[in-house]
Amino acid sequence: QQQVKQSPQSLIVQKGGISIINCAYENTAFDYFPWYQQFPGKGPALLIAIRPDVSEKKEGRFTISFNKSAKQFSLHIMDSQPGDSATYFCAVSLTLNKFYFGSGTKLNVKP
Amino acid sequence: GAGVSQSPSNKVTEKGKDVELRCDPISGHTALYWYRQRLGQGLEFLIYFQGNSAPDKSGLPSDRFSAERTGESVSTLTIQRTQQEDSAVYLCASSFPGYGSPLHFGNGTRLTVT
């Protein structure tokens, strides 16, 4: 059973544009929502994370929007750059005991 | 400082052989995870170790898969009688315990079963 559903599977954005990736979950007990970035040949690395008691978190060009009632959260990348081209994974966690990852979004930022 | 180290980085094996994958977590990280990533797909949870607690093995796909961890250090993932569907990148991650501690991943072991 997939704990978190991620979309789109792939995304092409022009340099300077906004990249938006969405995730949805069912279990309301999840209490930690991180996003990971993965470059080819490397393991994923934490990009940004949010707790369910806030609706938005911003770090530089990266923003997480969290909608608790809809059980959805999204990653927004402002002013997207070619260096942002990577695969992005959302994840959900229950008291940090186990992390479930989405299926990934391959982002390609065109120069 | 040193990150999570996995070895080997690549492993090619024949169907039916056993393989052992190794993970050296970051020093002090009591939590350790194994994930499987098939080509172009997401991360599939396999097993979780936390300190001296019994491991959470709920993600292991079959009894051919097993994992051990020595105290709070090295972990090995063993796959017996490998099958072609076992071909994937096996990722190890470690973290401190507690809320908000991120997972630190190694670069994975790419396993190819021929």
Q: Give the per-residue pLDDT at B39.
A: 87
In the CATH hierarchy, which top-level class contains the domain B5-113? Answer: mainly beta
Q: Give the per-residue pLDDT at B51.
A: 85
A97 touches chain B (CB under 8 A): yes
- Tell me the pLDDT band of B1, cut-offs 50, 70 and 90: low
Q: Please indicate whether, in this complex, the C-beta atoms of A43 and B50 are within 8 angstroms of each other.
A: no
Q: What is the pLDDT of residues B31-79, one digit of tens each?
A: 999 999 998 888 999 999 988 888 999 999 999 999 999 888 899 999 9
Q: Please indicate whether, in this complex, the C-beta atoms of A96 and B35 are within 8 angstroms of each other.
A: no
Q: What average pLDDT does the structure give for chain A?
A: 93
CATH topology assigned to domain A4-110? Immunoglobulin-like (2.60.40)
Distance (Å) from the alpha carbon of B72 to chain A's nearest alpha carbon: 16
Q: Give the per-residue pLDDT at A1.
A: 63
Q: Please indicate whether, in this complex, the C-beta atoms of A98 and B48 are within 8 angstroms of each other.
A: yes
Rg of chain A taking only CA atoms, in angstroms? 13
Q: Give the per-residue pLDDT at A3.
A: 85
Q: Residues with Cβ < 8 Å from B8, sequence gap 6 or more?
A: B21, B22, B109
Least CB–CB distance from B102: residue in A34, A41, A104: A34
User: Does position A29 have pLDDT exceeding 90, yes or no?
Assistant: no
Q: What average pLDDT does the structure give for chain B?
A: 93
Q: Please indicate whether, in this complex, the C-beta atoms of A43 and B48 are within 8 angstroms of each other.
A: no
Supply the DSSP string of chain B, one letter for each residue: ----EEE-SEEEE-TT--EEEEEEPPTT--EEEEEEE-TTS-EEEEEEEETTSPPB-TT--STTEEEEE-TTS-EEEEE-S--GGG-EEEEEEEE-SSTTPPPEE---EEEEE-
More confident residue, A110 or B98: A110
Domain boundaries defined on chain A: 4-110
Q: Please indicate whether, in this complex, the C-beta atoms of B43 and A42 are within 8 angstroms of each other.
A: no
Cβ contact B10:B20 at 8 Å: no
Domain boundaries defined on chain B: 5-113
H helix or E strand, kind and range, residue A67: strand A62-67
A98 touches chain B (CB under 8 A): yes
What percent of chain A shows pLDDT beyond 90? 80
Cβ contact B104:A36 at 8 Å: no
A6 touches chain B (CB under 8 A): yes
Cβ contact B110:B10 at 8 Å: yes
Mean pLDDT of all residues in A82-107: 90
Distance (Å) from the alpha carbon of A27 to chain B's nearest alpha carbon: 17
Chain B positions touching chain A (beta carbons under 8 Å): 4, 31, 33, 35, 40-43, 45, 48, 50, 56, 91, 93, 95, 97-108
Residue A31: list chain B partners with CB under 8 A: 99
